[in-house]
Structure 1
Amino acid sequence: MRILLPNSDGHLSNYEVTGTPIAKASLAHDSARRVYSAAHVVCDPFAEAGSSGTGAIDWNKTMGFRAHLVDLGLGIAEAMDTAQRGMGLNWFGALELIRQTKATFPNALVANGCGTDHLDPAEATSLDDVRRAYLEQVEAIQDVGGRIILMASRALAKVAKTPDDYIKIYNDVLAACDQPVILHWLGEMFDPALAGYWGADSFEGTLPTVISVIRDNETKIDGIKISLLDAQKEIVMRRQLPGSVRMYTGDDFNYPELIAGDEQGFSHALLGIFDPIAAHAATAISKLNSGDKDGFHAVLDPTVPLARHIFQAPTQHYKTGVVFLAWLNGHQDHFTMLAGAQALRSLPHFVECFKLADACGALSRPELAVERMELLLKLYGVR
């Protein structure tokens, strides 16, 4: 099957679609690795967003994608940055998303993003403002029976002056949580407003603060996800965690080696890239569970070039590539996003994304993908 694709200068050449879609396998409930896919939302292109932030979501298609993840045995990291949290999805929309997922999949493994995004950082003047904002979201999520991923706070990054300020806030918020939570350390490459989070400018200066929070609240913490795109930093931190606390990799560049682990341990997974390559994740980790480490790498390693492309700088625009692939693979009928985020990557980016997805078997329906890629090219004036 061939398609005419442009290069960065617009010159067209034949591209042969040769990839074999990954054969699906469902991850067992007793998997040695706990695996969450941070899931995207499907925009309703006919709806106005409205002041509530809930009106522009196609709930049927959004829940349909989550059914796809559940069928593969993956957990859902709900209402996170992959769902355009704070970048098109506000807190009110996020809470409705959390409610809908809980109602639709009451027995699924789901953890939900909890932050302070209803508090405008410009209006935050004190730690008390941040504390109240966190506790409001904690209460709302726990009221619907949801488990929590405690997200980093732009407002806290603004008002905190010292590492002790972070420690105070996290101690207070964790005390209010009724189930162990996943802490979420998002690097500034994902959100520039989080630069200097935890009260230091370097990883080495930050690590003691984070470890202190974890050790002081060990029974309240299931694990920590770090998204720093640096495998060595994750490994250094992983080796300092208490035995009861999981490391969840959020490294969309180096996830195979971190999940596989070494003689001193391994990482679980909470990844945005496990949205478009969910079938690869379930298949690869099933192989790892059976002791087939080579088979694990044979499935997952070829997806890394695609992941690095989708998450290339500016990294916060990775959601566009995630939704693009969901459209190519038939999980939704259009390629529009909340806040018009489909426009945040260039046509050459989409072309390369198509090629890399084909190369690793991430085009689950190649004929449909070709048909839709041709539609996109026409939209951009490519004949």
Structure 2
Amino acid sequence: MTTVVLPDGPFTFSGKGAAYATPGAGFTSRVAYAAAHVVADPGADNTPGAPAALDWDATLAFRHHLWSHGFGVAEAMDTAQRGMGLDYAATRELIRRSAREAAGPIVAGVATDQLPPGTASLDKVRKAYAEQLADVRVAGATPVLMCSRHLAATARDQDDYLDVYGDLLRQADGPVVLHWLGEMFDPALAGYWGPDPVATVLELIGAHTAKVDGIKVSLLDEAFEVDLRRRLPAGVRLYTGDDFNYPALIKGDEAGYSDALLGIFAAIAPPAAAALRALDAGDLSGYDEIFAPTVPLARHVFGTPTFYYKTGIVFLAWLAGHQTHFTMVGGLQSGRSPRHLGTLIRLADAAGVLPDADLAASRARAWSITVGVPQ
């Protein structure tokens, strides 16, 4: 039976997701990374403040799922709960294991989260970044220089950003991806890059173009991203991290397009892969048709407060059969309300991201009971 009573009433699953369940090859017209979540060990003490304990088999199996659909994996990014439950010891091991098993492209986050929370001197920020950069290089992944809460708290002006990032780029032995995460994803990053952030970013990239593969931009502002994209030096990619406006940004315009590094791709990988293959084939109407129902889902997953989007990503992974439980490191499964998650179920079914309607219904029914909805 595929009918379930959700917090806002009865719902019958459509089974639409079965159409997108078959894996396929990678993409030819765009570079696309999916930022992957981590699967907690449900028997461990993954309470707030406790060291993260992961189910390694399920965590790595999910990455193979993404590779099988043609995506690269963006490892140890904010989707993996960096700064929200995933400590650096677990992060380092995650990067090592994922890179060792990589069955497709992999990039991995470099940050400063091994430092204690709060402020830190610029010298400590440099050393923390350098340590993580070395860890990612040794693992064999392409580094993503993530925004640092410590640098945001310490930097006095754009010169501090240019100095710290310049040092890192000089140390890098190959191209890296820069990272611009807005304060809606992490309030501690307000004011990042200084008083004129676009000028800082363009100056940094202009001085180190050979070391910059691209920049991932997560500001949820389509017009801003398009303007920045048009101002980048030739050969430097803009990886959209805009989980609201990704179809238009990836499709592009007469002046260019964005590649992708998206958290929502972890949740919508099968239909997203079908949309990108339609784009490869020049089938723009097919591209639009497949992506259209994923956008309301993405906007709901990343709704305010945006930084709790990880809860929805994990909930969908459980409904889709990628893990056996809805438990998160840091106890973050409490980050969204039952009504929010109930709506998420409806939108996920419409978007075609649930490959097995019977399994999804069974799990949705069990979850509904636990939040007080009689079946």
Give TM class, smaller chain. over 0.9
Residue of structure 2 equivalent to 1:84: 81
Please give the alpha-carbon distance, in whole angstroms, between the structure 2 residues aligned to 1:350 and 1:196.
Answer: 32
Q: Which has the higher contact order (CA 8 A, sep 6+)?
A: 2
Residue of structure 2 equivalent to 1:134: 129
Residue of structure 1 equivalent to 2:14: 18
Residue of structure 2 equivalent to 1:6: 7
**Preserved CA contact (<8 Å) 2:48 2:85:** no
Residue of structure 1 equivalent to 2:327: 336
- Does residue 246 (structure 1) correspond to residue 237 (structure 2)? The answer is yes
Q: Note the 1:109-188 alignment, pairs <5 A.
A: 109-124=105-120, 126-188=121-183
Q: Deviations over 1:22-54 (max 9, x none)?
A: 424655446110000000010001123599977
> 1:91 Cα shift?
1.4
> 1:311 Cα shift?
0.2
> 1:17 Cα shift?
2.1
**Preserved CA contact (<8 Å) 1:2 1:15:** yes
Q: Identify the match of residue 108 of structure 1 among 96, 104, 110.
A: 104
> 1:173 Cα shift?
0.7
Letter of the aligned partner of 2:373 in structure 1? V
Q: 3-state SS of the aligned residue for 1:122?
A: coil
**Preserved CA contact (<8 Å) 1:37 1:272:** yes
In structure 2, runs of 5+ residues without a counterpart are none
Q: 3-state SS of the aligned residue for 2:292?
A: helix
In structure 1, runs of 5+ residues without a counterpart are 8-12
Residue of structure 1 equivalent to 2:70: 73
Please give the alpha-carbon distance, in whole angstroms, between the structure 2 residues aligned to 1:191 and 1:120.
Answer: 17
Distance 1:25 1:18, change over 3 A: closer
**Preserved CA contact (<8 Å) 1:113 1:150:** yes
**Aligned positions, number:** 372
Residue of structure 1 equivalent to 2:283: 292
Q: Please give the TM-score of this superposition, normalised by the length of structure 1.
A: 0.94
Question: What percent identity do the matched residue pairs reach?
Answer: 49
Please give the alpha-carbon distance, in whole angstroms, between the structure 2 residues aligned to 1:55 and 1:297.
Answer: 39
Q: Identify the match of residue 292 of structure 2 among 288, 297, 301.
A: 301
Residue of structure 2 equivalent to 1:356: 347
Q: Deviations over 1:300-333 (max 9, x none)?
A: 1210000000000100000000000000011000
Decide which moves more: 371-380 or 20-29: 20-29
Please give the alpha-carbon distance, in whole angstroms, between the structure 2 residues aligned to 1:345 and 1:291.
Answer: 39
Please give the alpha-carbon distance, in whole angstroms, between the structure 2 residues aligned to 1:157 and 1:344.
Answer: 25
Please give the alpha-carbon distance, in whole angstroms, between the structure 2 residues aligned to 1:307 and 1:225.
Answer: 18
Residue of structure 2 equivalent to 1:10: none
> 1:18 Cα shift?
2.4
Q: Identify the match of residue 38 of structure 1 among 32, 35, 43.
A: 35
Distance 1:54 1:339, change over 3 A: closer
> 1:70 Cα shift?
0.9
Q: Identify the match of residue 192 of structure 1 among 177, 187, 191.
A: 187
**Preserved CA contact (<8 Å) 1:227 1:251:** yes
Please give the alpha-carbon distance, in whole angstroms, between the structure 2 residues aligned to 1:225 and 1:16.
Answer: 38
Q: 3-state SS of the aligned residue for 2:113?
A: coil
Across the aligned residues of Structure 1 and Structure 2, the Cα RMSD in angstroms comes to: 1.7
Q: Please give the TM-score of this superposition, normalised by the length of structure 2.
A: 0.96
Residue of structure 2 equivalent to 1:380: 371
Please give the alpha-carbon distance, in whole angstroms, between the structure 1 residues aligned to 2:65 and 2:127.
Answer: 36
